[in-house]
């Protein structure tokens, strides 16, 4: 599964990006380059779905794929798929629950939601059985604090809360393949029953530990998308994630920039006020272009410029900024090109 995902990423990047780009994408690196790439190359579902991925593990996987003849490298080190690699990718792609993944939407909240759920279920299950001493399966402070507050609200109705959790979770999990549902449930901890480690799940289903991580992400993302799209049907589970939902997932710094922009300040003014480099503010603007549906491209580039750039990108069938810039005789800046591409990639119109 992980191998197939890596093949897919290599395929999407068209040999225009290195293995590092895949690492940054899967680990959800917060850089505007990664952010923009993810949109440009159609990899939004996978952004940040494997945050603990180590470079050496990705490299090992790439070597295996190379030995199998599925991928090769250009002279600059960028990987690309061979004929054989493309065939195997097409064959295998539908074997896995990739369609449940939605990294761009959920990467910033999936762990929070899931950790809260795990720890609260452990707590409620134990305390409802009269067991007040247990070792919490997680020790992140924010999660523990949240669970404590939740517990304060729910402590005199734990059995009914658990009942509702059970109803909602089983409702959701019956909609996905039973093996995936099983992995999700085995991972959970209750009274006198600690959940499975990733290694144990890998052994049980005879898959790699990377596959386990991706499966869990897929299972969690499916829960989130089901809950968020129908909060009235899943009110209890919704209470585990509603405060995390952010309509436009922006970095903190970008949010500040947006506030100033909305007040009508120019890029130069914001640079001075915030004491930041112009390129940083430009990064923020590209971020808005990517995710903010109300973003107005023409505040930053003229209609003609936007059309020029998007036509060229379409013609060259590339997202490589340098190639586009050169083909347009350096008429436009990198910022202009990036912001146009970002708008196009979001699905907006450049005209």
Partner 1 sequence: MKPQTYESLLEQHFGYSTFREGQKEIIHDVLDGNDVLGILPTGTGKSLCYQFPAVLMEGTVLIISPLISLMIDQVKQLKQQGYKKVTAINSFLNVEQKREIFRNLDSYKLIYCSPEMLQNPQFLGELSNKVNVSLFVVDEAHCISQWGHEFRPDYLKLDDTLQQLGNPTLLALSATAPKNVQDDIMEQLGRTHMKKHIYPMDRENIAFSVEHVSHMSEKIERMKEILTSHPVPTMVYFSSRQWSEKAAYELSQSLQHLRIAFYHGGMDQEDRLLIQQQFMNDQLDVICCTSAFGMGVNKSNIRLVIHAHLPSQLESFIQEVGRAGRDGKQSVSLTFYSPGDSEIPKAFIEGELPNEEILHSTITFLYQWGHLKGNHVKSDEEMESMLEIGEIHWRFLRYQFEKHGMIEQTNIIYDKNRWKHAYEEIKRFIQERTNIKHRKLDELVHWLHQEDCLRKSLYQPFQHSLKSPTGFCCDRCDFQFNRWEVDKRQYVKQVSSWMEELKQICLQGEPYEMDKPGRTN
Q: How far is the CB of 215 from partner 1 (least distance, A)?
A: 13
Which residue's CB is nearer to partner 1, number 32 or number 217? 217
Taking each helix axis from N to C end, the angle separating 32-40 and 334-346, rounded to the nearest 10 degrees, works out to 50
- Using CB under 8 A, list all residues that contact partner 1: 52, 121, 125, 128-129, 133-135, 137-139, 141, 159, 162-163, 165-166, 169-170, 173-174, 178, 181-182, 184-186, 188-200, 203
CB of 232 to partner 1, least distance (A): 21
Shortest reach from residue 205's CB to partner 1, in Å: 13
Nearer to partner 1, 39 or 187 (CB): 187
The nearest distance, CB 69 to partner 1, in angstroms, is: 28
**In 324-336, which positions are buried (b, 16+ CB within 10 angstroms) versus exposed (e)?**
bbeebeeebeebb
> Which tokens in the block code for residue 83?
């004929």
Query: Quick one: 199 or 278, whose CB is closer to partner 1?
Result: 199
How long is the chain? 351
Q: Which residue has the tokens 């503010």?
A: 281
3-state secondary structure 20-65: HHHHHHHCCCCCHHHHHHHHHCCCHHHCCCCCCCCHHHHHHHHHHH
The Cβ-side half-sphere exposure at 300, using a 13 Å CA radius, reads 28
Q: Which is nearer to partner 1, 183 or 271 (CB)?
A: 183
Kindly state the smallest distance separating residue 229's Cβ from partner 1, in Å.
Answer: 22
Residue number, 139 or 330, with CB nearest to partner 1: 139
Q: Which residues contact 220 (CB under 8 A, 6 or more apart)?
A: 106, 110, 113, 114, 184
């Amino acid at each position: 599964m992980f191998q197939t995902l890596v093949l897919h990423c290599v395929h999407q990047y068209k040999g225009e990006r290195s293995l590092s780009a895949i690492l940054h994408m899967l680990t959800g690196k917060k850089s505007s380059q990664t952010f923009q790439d993810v949109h440009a190359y159609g990899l939004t579902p996978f952004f940040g779905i494997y945050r603990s991925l180590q470079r050496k593990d990705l490299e090992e996987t790439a070597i295996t794929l190379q030995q199998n003849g599925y991928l090769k490298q250009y002279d600059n080190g960028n990987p690309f798929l061979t004929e054989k690699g493309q065939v195997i990718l097409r064959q295998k792609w539908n074997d896995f629950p990739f369609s449940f993944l939605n990294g761009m939407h959920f990467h910033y909240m999936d762990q929070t939601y899931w950790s809260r759920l795990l720890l609260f279920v452990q707590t409620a299950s134990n305390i409802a059985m009269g067991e007040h001493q247990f070792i919490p399966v997680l020790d992140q402070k924010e999660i523990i604090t949240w669970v404590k507050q939740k517990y304060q609200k729910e402590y005199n109705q734990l059995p009914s809360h658990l009942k509702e959790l059970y109803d909602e979770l089983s409702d959701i999990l019956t909609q996905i393949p039973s093996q995936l549902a099983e992995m999700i449930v085995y991972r959970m901890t209750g009274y006198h029953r600690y959940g499975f480690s990733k290694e144990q799940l890998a052994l049980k289903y005879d898959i790699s530990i990377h596959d386990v991580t991706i499966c869990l992400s897929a299972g969690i993302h499916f829960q989130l998308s089901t809950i968020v799209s129908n909060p009235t049907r899943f009110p209890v589970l919704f209470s585990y994630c509603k405060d995390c939902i952010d309509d436009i997932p922006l970095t903190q710094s970008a949010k500040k920039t947006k506030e100033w922009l909305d007040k009508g300040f120019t890029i130069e003014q914001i640079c001075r006020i915030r004491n930041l480099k112009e390129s940083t503010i430009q990064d923020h603007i590209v971020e808005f272009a990517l995710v903010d549906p109300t973003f107005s491209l023409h505040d930053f580039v003229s209609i003609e410029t936007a059309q020029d750039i998007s036509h060229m990108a379409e013609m060259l069938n590339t997202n490589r900024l340098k190639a586009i810039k050169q083909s347009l005789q350096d008429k436009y800046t990198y910022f202009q090109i990036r912001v146009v591409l970002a708008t196009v990639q979001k699905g907006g119109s450049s005209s």
